[in-house]
Amino acid sequence: MKAVVCKSYGLPDTLVVEDRPALEAPPGKVVVSVRAASVKFSDTLLIQNKYQNKIDVPFVPGGEVTGVIKAVGAGVERWKVGDRVSAQTGQGGFAEEALADPDKLSSIPDSIDFAGAAGLSNAYGTSYYALIDRGQLKAGETVLILGASGGVGLAAVEIAKIVGAKVIACASTEEKLAVCREHGADHTINYDKEDMRARVKEITGGKGLDVVYDPVGGDYSELALRDMAWGGRFLVIGFAAGPIPKIALNLPLIKGCSIVGVWIGQFSKKEPAKHRANVDQIWKWVAEGKIKPHISGRHPIEKAADALNEIMARKVAGKVVLVNE
Ligand SMILES: NC(=O)c1ccc[n+]([C@@H]2O[C@H](COP(=O)([O-])OP(=O)(O)OC[C@H]3O[C@@H](n4cnc5c(N)ncnc54)[C@H](OP(=O)(O)O)[C@@H]3O)[C@@H](O)[C@H]2O)c1
Quick check: 36 and 304 in contact, CB under 8 A?
Answer: no
What pLDDT score does 107 carry? 95
Distance 41 CA to ligand 1 centre (A): 6
Pick the atom of ligand 1 nearest to 192's CA. 41
Query: Distance between CA atoms of 201 and 190, rounded to whole angstroms?
Result: 15
What pLDDT score does 325 carry? 76
Above 90 in pLDDT, residue 52? no
pLDDT tens digits, residue range 190-242? 999 999 999 999 999 999 999 999 999 999 999 999 999 999 999 999 999 99
- Structure confidence at residue 57 as a pLDDT band (50, 70, 90): very high
Pick the atom of ligand 1 nearest to 42's CA. 47
Query: Distance between CA atoms of 144 and 197, rounded to whole angstroms?
Result: 11
* 119 Cβ below 6 A of ligand 1: no
Outline where the chain has alpha helix (H).
41-46, 114-117, 120-128, 151-163, 174-182, 196-204, 220-225, 250-255, 264-270, 272-287, 304-312
- Structure confidence at residue 313 as a pLDDT band (50, 70, 90): very high
Q: Which CATH class is domain 122-265?
A: alpha beta
Pick the atom of ligand 1 nearest to 154's CA. 16
C-alpha distances (whole Å) from 61 to each of 15, 47, 57, 265, 304 are 10, 8, 10, 16, 10
Give the length of the chain.
325
Identify the bridge partners of residue 140 per DSSP, sorted by sequence position: none
Mean pLDDT of 173-183: 97
pLDDT tens digits, residue range 68-81? 999 999 999 999 99
In the chain, CATH 3.90.180.10 covers 2-119+293-323
Mean pLDDT of the chain: 97
Protein residue whose Cα sits closest to atom 18 of ligand 1 = 150
Fold (CATH) for 2-119+293-323: Quinone Oxidoreductase; Chain A, domain 1 (3.90.180)
Above 80 in pLDDT, residue 170? yes
Mean pLDDT of 141-153: 98
Query: Distance between CA atoms of 112 and 92, rounded to whole angstroms?
Result: 23
C-alpha distances (whole Å) from 171 to each of 24, 53, 57 are 44, 27, 34
pTM score above 0.85 = yes
In the chain, CATH 3.40.50.720 covers 122-265
Torsion of CA 148, 141, 277, 261, to 10 degrees: 60
Mean pLDDT of 277-294: 94
Above 90 in pLDDT, residue 116? yes
